[in-house]
C-alpha cells in the first residue's frame, strides 16, 4: 500500500509539472531557435561567438556595422554557419536588409534602385531582375534571407517614414512589383521577408522612435494593405516570411496593442488570410514602437504568445540573454505552451530546409566579384533612368526651355562630383559654374548664389542633408532652382516654390547627363545614357 501511495504521488507530481510546463521537452537549444540576433563587429569573435555558444540562435542579422568588404562578409557568414553546426547541429538563417535605395547594407556599383524608383518602370520583369541580382549577391555571400521587399502601400507625397522604400500608393502596382521582386529572390534560394504587416503606410510616425498607430479598419486593411501579401501568397513557393509592424490598429484590435503583440492581428488576420506556413518574425524588439511593454523579456514572450515565430533582438547581447531567459521561464511556468513553441519550430525548420542547404563552402574571389558586378544591376538601373526621363520629358515646365546656349551661366550645385561630371558631358556649349555642395562649402555656395542673381540654378539633392540645405534657401532663390531630388515630396518643404522638382529616386551614374538633357533641351535627350 505504501508503495502504491508513493507511485500515485509520483504520477501526480509528473502531471502537475506537465501542467506547469516543466519537463515539457522544449530544450534550451530549441528556445534559441526562436531568436534572430544582431551583433557589433566584423567577425564572429566580436560577440557573435559568445551568443551562438550560449543560446544557439536560429538566425543572425547583419547590418552596415558588420560590413567592411564582401570578402569579409563571406568569411563571417561561413564562420558563423560552421560554429552553429558544431554547437547545435543546426544551420543559421542569415538575414540582411538589402532593399535598395537608401536601405542597402552591401554597396555595389551601380547600386540597386529604391522600390519607388523601380515603380517608375511599372514593369514586373524589372522588379524580378532586381530580386534575382540581389539574390545572387546575397547567396554568394552566404546570406539566405532578405528582409525585403517592403510591401507597405504608402503615399510618397505624405509619408516621411517609408519614403522611397515603398513601391508607392497603388495597391495593385505594389502587389505586382513586390511579388516579382520576391520571386527573383526565391529563384536564387533566398527567403523574402515582406514587411511591415499589416501595413505601415498610414501609420502616425516612425516606429523606430515612437509608438505608431494606424486609423484603418479591418475592411480598409483588407482592400488596401493586404493586397500585396495576398499576391505574394499566391505567387511564391512556401515557405516565405513576414515581418510584423510595431504599429497598433485600434479599429481592428481595441486593446491598442502593436501588431507585434496582437493575436487578433497575427492569428485572426495574418494566419487566417495567408496560411500556416508563413514564417513570422518581429521587427527589432528593442525599438521604441514596441515600448508599450517596458520589460524587454516580456515583450518577447508576448510576441510569441501572439503568434510570432522568431523574435528579433538586433543590438545587445545582454538583452538577448534576457529574452532567452524570459522565454525559458514562460515555458517552465506554463505561460507558453509546448505546442505553441513547436508550431514555430516547425516553421523555422521548414525555412531552413528550403534556404540553408549548401551555405557552407566559401566562394572564390572571382565568384564574389562576379556577383558584385552582375549585369542585371546595370540593366535595372538603366531601365529606371529611362522610365524617369520618359515620364518627365513631356512634363518639363515651359520656363525650363528659357535656358539656351549662350553666355548666361548655369549654376550647378551638387554634393556628388560624379553628377557634376555627368551633367557637364551633356552640356557642351553652356557655361556651367559647378560648386561642390558639402557642409564645409555652405558659405561659398551662398556667396555664389547671391553673386550671380540671373543664371538658372540646378541643385542636386542626393540625400536628406542636401535637401535640408536647399530647402532653407529664400523663396526668391528657390524660384530659380531646378531641384533634382532622390528623396520623396514629403521630404521637401515648399516644393511648389521651386522652378521645377525632378525626382528620379535613384543615384544613377549618368543621372547628371539625363538631367542636363531634360533641363537644357538638348538634342542629346534621346541618348542620355
Annotated active-site positions, please?
208, 283
Q: For every residue of 96-133, which 3-state class applies, written as one string? A: ECEEECCEECCCCCCCCCCHHHHHCCCCHHHHHHHHHH
Considering only CA atoms, which of 130, 142, 221 is closest in space to residue 184?
130
DSSP 143-183: --EE---B-----TTT-TTTGGGS--S-HHHHHHHHHHHHH
Residue 245 exposure: Cα atoms within 13 Å on the Cβ side = 30
d(CA 297, CA 479): 54
Distance CA 469, CA 85 (A): 51
Angstrom CA distances, 57 to 23, 90, 281, stand at 21, 9, 14
Left if phi > 0, otherwise alpha if psi is -120 to 50, otherwise beta: which for 170?
beta
Phi-psi region of 239 (alpha: psi -120 to 50; beta: other; left: phi over 0): beta
Bridge partners, residue 311, by sequence: 35
DSSP reduced 3-state for 516:
helix
For CA atoms 513, 514, 515, 518, the dihedral sign is positive
- Nine-digit cell at 133? 541580382
Longest CA–CA separation in the chain, Å: 114
Give the angle subtended at the CA of 422 by the CAs of 416 and 428, to the nearest 5°. 135
Q: Which three cell numbers stand for residue 293?
A: 511593454
**Is 168 in contact with 150 (CB distance < 8 Å)?**
no
Measured distance CA(363)–CA(78) in Å, rounded = 10
- For the chain, percent helix, then strand, then coil, each to nearest 5? 50, 15, 35
CA angle 97, 98, 101 (to 5 degrees): 115
- Spell out the alpha helix ranges (H) of 169-295: 171-187, 218-220, 226-235, 263-265, 272-274
Cβ atoms of 341 and 34 closer than 8 Å: yes
List the grid coordinates of 40.
557589433
Q: Which of 189, 191, 188 is nearest to 232 (CA)?
A: 191
Around 489, how many Cα atoms within 13 Å sit in the side-chain half-sphere? Answer: 14
Amino acid at each position: 500500500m505504501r508503495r502504491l501511495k508513493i507511485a500515485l504521488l509520483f504520477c501526480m507530481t509528473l502531471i502537475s509539472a506537465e501542467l506547469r510546463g516543466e519537463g515539457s521537452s522544449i530544450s534550451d537549444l530549441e528556445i534559441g531557435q526562436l531568436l534572430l540576433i544582431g551583433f557589433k563587429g566584423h567577425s564572429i569573435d566580436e560577440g557573435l561567438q559568445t551568443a551562438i555558444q550560449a543560446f544557439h540562435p536560429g538566425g543572425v542579422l547583419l547590418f552596415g556595422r558588420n560590413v567592411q568588404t564582401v570578402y569579409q562578409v563571406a568569411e563571417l557568414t561561413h564562420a558563423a554557419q560552421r560554429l552553429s553546426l558544431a554547437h547545435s547541429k543546426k544551420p543559421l538563417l542569415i538575414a540582411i536588409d538589402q532593399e535598395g535605395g537608401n536601405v542597402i547594407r552591401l554597396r555595389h556599383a551601380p547600386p540597386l534602385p529604391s522600390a519607388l524608383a523601380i515603380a517608375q518602370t511599372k514593369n514586373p520583369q524589372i522588379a524580378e531582375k532586381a530580386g534575382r541580382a540581389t539574390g545572387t549577391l546575397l547567396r554568394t555571400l552566404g546570406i539566405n534571407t532578405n528582409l525585403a521587399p517592403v510591401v507597405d502601400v504608402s503615399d510618397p507625397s505624405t509619408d516621411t517614414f517609408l519614403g522611397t522604400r515603398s513601391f508607392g500608393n497603388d495597391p495593385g502596382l505594389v502587389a505586382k512589383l513586390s511579388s516579382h521582386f520576391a520571386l527573383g529572390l526565391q529563384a536564387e534560394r533566398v527567403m523574402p521577408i515582406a514587411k511591415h504587416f499589416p501595413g505601415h503606410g498610414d501609420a502616425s510616425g516612425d516606429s523606430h522612435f515612437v509608438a505608431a498607430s494606424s486609423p484603418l479598419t479591418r475592411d480598409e486593411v483588407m482592400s488596401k494593405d493586404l493586397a500585396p501579401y495576398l499576391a505574394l501568397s499566391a505567387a511564391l513557393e512556401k515557405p516565405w516570411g513576414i515581418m510584423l509592424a510595431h504599429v497598433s490598429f485600434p479599429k481592428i484590435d481595441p486593446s491598442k496593442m502593436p501588431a507585434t503583440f496582437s493575436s487578433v492581428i497575427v492569428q485572426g488576420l495574418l494566419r487566417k488570410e495567408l496560411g500556416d506556413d508563413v514564417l513570422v518574425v518581429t521587427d527589432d524588439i528593442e525599438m521604441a514602437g514596441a515600448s508599450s511593454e517596458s520589460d524587454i523579456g516580456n515583450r518577447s514572450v508576448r510576441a510569441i504568445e501572439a503568434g510570432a515565430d522568431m523574435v528579433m533582438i538586433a543590438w545587445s547581447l545582454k538583452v538577448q540573454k534576457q529574452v532567452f531567459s524570459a522565454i525559458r521561464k514562460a515555458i517552465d511556468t506554463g505561460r507558453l505552451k509546448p505546442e505553441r513553441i513547436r508550431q514555430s519550430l516547425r516553421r523555422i525548420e521548414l525555412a531552413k530546409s528550403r534556404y540553408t542547404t549548401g551555405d557552407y563552402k566559401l566562394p572564390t574571389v572571382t565568384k564574389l566579384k562576379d556577383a558584385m558586378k552582375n549585369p542585371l544591376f546595370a540593366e535595372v538601373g538603366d531601365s529606371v533612368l529611362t522610365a524617369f526621363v520618359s515620364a518627365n520629358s513631356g512634363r518639363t515646365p515651359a520656363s525650363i526651355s528659357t535656358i539656351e546656349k549662350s553666355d548666361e551661366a548655369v549654376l550647378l550645385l551638387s554634393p556628388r562630383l560624379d553628377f557634376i561630371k555627368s551633367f557637364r558631358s551633356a552640356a557642351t556649349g553652356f557655361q556651367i559654374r559647378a560648386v561642390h555642395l558639402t557642409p564645409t562649402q555652405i558659405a561659398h555656395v551662398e556667396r555664389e548664389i547671391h553673386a550671380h542673381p540671373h543664371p538658372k540654378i540646378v541643385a542636386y539633392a542626393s540625400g536628406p542633408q542636401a535637401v535640408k540645405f536647399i530647402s532653407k534657401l529664400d523663396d526668391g532663390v528657390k524660384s530659380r532652382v531646378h531641384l533634382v531630388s532622390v528623396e520623396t515630396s514629403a521630404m521637401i518643404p515648399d516644393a511648389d516654390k521651386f522652378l521645377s522638382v525632378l525626382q528620379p529616386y535613384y543615384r544613377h551614374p549618368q543621372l547628371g547627363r539625363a538631367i542636363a538633357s531634360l533641363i537644357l533641351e538638348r538634342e542629346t535627350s534621346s541618348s542620355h545614357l
